[in-house]
Amino acid sequence: MSGNAPWRVLLGRSHECGVLDHVVADARAGRSRVLVLRGAPGVGKSALVEYLTRSAPGFQVLRVVGVESEMELAFAGLHQLCMPLLGHIERLPGPQRDSLAIAFGLRDGSAPDRFLVGLAVLSLLAETAEDRPLLCVVDDAQWLDQVSAQTLAFVARRLLAERVALVLAARPPAFGAGDDPWAALPETEVPGLRDDDARALLDSVVPGRLDERVRERIVAETRGNPLALLELTRGLTTADLAGGFGRPDSRPLTSQIEHSFVRRIESLPSGAQRLLLAAAAEPVGDVPLLRRAAERLGIDADAEGTAEEAGLIEFGTRVRFRHPLVRSAAYRAAPPAERRTVHRALAEATAPGFDSDRRAW
């Protein structure tokens, strides 16, 4: 990585970082920008999102993370996006205000008109951006619930002269463009690292000197995927890597990376494993809520430190997984009965008097 104000340019990502810098500059100048970062799991979309949020001083930043377990919950993604802005909801025109309030469970009513919900979100973002520029980032957008994805696409197509930037990071659509709500939006592809950058990254994490033929084989097998280079070589010596780690019958690269996280999670004490599952099931990253749920689940307080020391999660003002694949690994590896137990604890720990809107989800 090289120095760059206001943050660092990522290794091999000068073009992508430059594109994001222009997004921020345009939004600051009152020219709304929308961008989809498209790439395979582990290719570095989340790192670019992190670069973006750190490169936007003076912006209010709204973060949304798509969560597999909430894909069937209509409006769940929009709830993440709009929750910090609900103090402005009374400024919206009556029909928009009522539709959004009903969608979020803030008041009773019949199913809201989705067109009015879309207009309400657009108005809410524009109203907020009057105070200072607004940056909305959505990571793992492919896991948003369908209603939220369609509504955000509606909003994205109507942002014009507001000080708003909307950036979505998503995997390629599973079934082609017809299955992709972001298909018509401006897009930047995030490819694997070039071979020279992949070699530099590999050399930075593997102890000792790698045989050149082994290095070339690993670079080819990972196809320049940064997370694969970092994660699949973790803890391995040059002798361990002598044969590479790809086989003709091996699983897809994403599955290999996720399985490496599963192995690391399974090596932790049971309390830390359960805490990671609870954090994976709670999409907002609410630390007090997670701690209340952990208490109900009988998880010891030292489980937080254990999970953090493993390099899988961070507990700050918000809970942050090292990578979205850690979240999916923690959730998928747990038996269904354990998932239900954790969801129940989270629901019980959500205070109805203070978090009635969130409890609805």
Domain edges within the chain: 14-189, 195-250, 265-348
pLDDT of residue 248: 38
In sign, the C-alpha dihedral spanning 216, 221, 224, 227 is negative
In sign, the C-alpha dihedral spanning 202, 208, 212, 214 is negative
What is the C-alpha to C-alpha distance for residues 275 and 273, in angstroms, rounded to an integer? 5
Cα 68–69–71 angle (5° rounding)?
A: 65
What is the C-alpha to C-alpha distance for residues 251 and 234, in angstroms, rounded to an integer? 18
Q: Strands 187-189 and 60-65, how do they pair?
A: unpaired
246: buried, middle or exposed (CB in 10 Å: 19+, 13-18, 0-12)? Answer: middle
Distances (CA, A) of 28 to 125, 159, 241, 244: 14, 14, 47, 47
What is the C-alpha to C-alpha distance for residues 95 and 254, in angstroms, rounded to an integer? 44
Highest mean pLDDT among 149-158, 174-183, 325-334: 149-158
Better-scored residue on pLDDT, 253 or 272: 272
How far out from the chain centre does Cα 139 lie? Answer: 3
Question: What value does the mean pLDDT of the chain take?
Answer: 86
What is the C-alpha to C-alpha distance for residues 128 and 186, in angstroms, rounded to an integer? 23
pLDDT one-digit tens code per residue, 114-148: 999 999 999 999 999 999 999 999 999 999 999 99
Mean pLDDT of 321-336: 85
What is the C-alpha to C-alpha distance for residues 78 and 64, in angstroms, rounded to an integer? 8
Phi, psi dihedrals of residue 261, rounded to the nearest 5°: -70, -40
Alpha helices for 90-225 (secondary structure H): 94-103, 114-129, 146-156, 195-205, 212-222
Domain spanning 14-189: which superfamily? P-loop containing nucleotide triphosphate hydrolases (3.40.50.300)
pLDDT of residue 316: 87
Mean pLDDT of 28-44: 94
Q: Does residue 169 surpass a pLDDT of 60? A: yes
The pLDDT confidence band at residue 176, using thresholds 50, 70 and 90, is low
How far out from the chain centre does Cα 48 lie? Answer: 11
Cα 67–324–327 angle (5° rounding)?
A: 70
Q: Does residue 236 surpass a pLDDT of 70? A: no
pLDDT of residue 243: 54
Residue 2: beta bridge partners? 9
The pLDDT confidence band at residue 94, using thresholds 50, 70 and 90, is very high
